[in-house]
Amino acid sequence: MLLIIVALVALSVGRYPLSATTITRFLLHPLHLAPAVNATDQQVLFALRLPRVIAAAAIGAALAISGTAFQAIFNNPLVSPDLLGVSNGAAAGAALAIILGYHSAGIQLSAFIGGLVAVTAAITIQRLLRTRGSLTLVLAGIIISGFMQAIIGLLKYVADPDQQLPSITYWQLGSLEKVTLANLGLNLPALLIAGVVLYALRWRLNLLSLDSLEATTLGANLRLEQGIVILCATVLTASAVCLSGTIGWIGLVIPHAARLVAGQNNAKSLPLAAIFGAIFLLLLDSLARTVSAGEIPLGILTGFIGTPLFVWLLLKKRVTLA
């Protein structure tokens, strides 16, 4: 219910405010239960607000789900979706597409490929080291993430300072300003499929969070099931970055908030994290559009709000950092 209320508020607020009556008529008109709204209101809602609200809810849920999944399979409460360098890999892919002069669809496709390349490289490093431990994969992800950051720095150095550099910087800060029904349609299927698969596997996450020997004894195929979870979480993160650029903290903070309410059972905390993530990003995006004359990048807001919120959650849960 809270998610629905927040979504309706997000549809109504902005530089062109709309009344609750207008929102109700817009939503009920396709069902022939209300008269149509005027052309201006319909254009604002259908072309601008509705894609943005759907994207905010989907991206917030996707990042929260992937964070919950990563923290479960690595049994580490401080793991986030960019663990394997996915976010930086996607940002590097987007930056390369901007340098090459690609349009919106090309930038999104390049970002998606960059995220997949990053996670593939991290897994390859783990296999070359011939170890299966989660710590090795974490270290490989840190290596790849640092390498992708170096690539982004190089691309920013050679970028045109008047045209390309601002676009790359804006992409890294994160925003939903450029979301349309077209690019939403390109990425939403991947978000839905990966999210549904992780939702179906939410019961297995409890098993995968156990010691490897114990999980294997209980019948888990660790390599296969962990691979599916990592792939789906990577697809969720890369698809989210394709739509909004890099948005931090959601995948780290929201799973803790969900577990604070639902407990350590991933079967309950994962869907709750999706709802919390959607609400959180909808609120932040509404704030970004209304708090000042110019739109504030979401990466800035998540940093300012996510940091104290995470400290509070750590104090509340008494998470052991040792």
Distance CA 214, CA 318 (A): 26
- Residue with the larger pLDDT of the pair 78 and 11: 11
Give pLDDT tens digits for 228-244.
Answer: 998 899 889 888 888 88
Across 3-17, 85-99, 203-217, 225-239, least confident range: 203-217
Other Cβ atoms within 10 Å of 31 Cβ, number: 7
Query: Which of 97, 76, 67 shows the shortest CA–CA distance to 248?
Result: 67
The whole-number pLDDT of residue 291 equals: 83
pLDDT in tens, 86-111: 888 988 998 999 899 888 778 878 88
SS3 category, 77: coil
Rounded to an integer, what distance in angstroms lies between the CA atom of residue 93 and that of residue 100?
11
What span, in angstroms and rounded, lies between the C-alpha atoms of 315 and 57?
28
| CA-based torsion, 268, 310, 274, 195: positive or negative | negative
- Each residue's pLDDT tens digit, 19-29: 888 888 888 88
On the question of pLDDT at 319 being above 50, the answer is no
Rounded Cα distance between 36 and 149, Å, is 49
Q: What is the pLDDT of residues 121-166, one digit of tens each?
A: 988 887 888 766 667 777 888 899 899 999 999 999 999 888 888 8
Q: Is the pTM of this model over 0.85?
A: yes
108-138 burial: b if 16+ Cβ within 10 Å, else e: bbbbbbbbbbbbebbbebbeeeeeeebebbb
- Mean local confidence (pLDDT), 15-41: 85
What pLDDT score does 134 carry? 64
- Nearest residue to 236 via CA among 55, 57, 69, 63: 63
Residue-range domains of the chain with CATH: 2-317 (1.10.3470.10)
Read off the pLDDT of each residue in 257-279 and give the average, rounded to a whole number: 93
Instruction: Report d(CA 313, CA 24) in Å as an integer.
Output: 37
With a CB cutoff of 8 Å and minimum separation 6, the contacts of 186 are 105, 108, 242
Q: Which two tokens stand for residue 279?
A: 């609400």
312 vs 55, residue with greater confidence: 55
14 or 134, greater pLDDT: 14
- Whether the pLDDT of residue 320 is over 60: the answer is no
Residue 132 has a pLDDT of 63
pLDDT of residue 29: 82
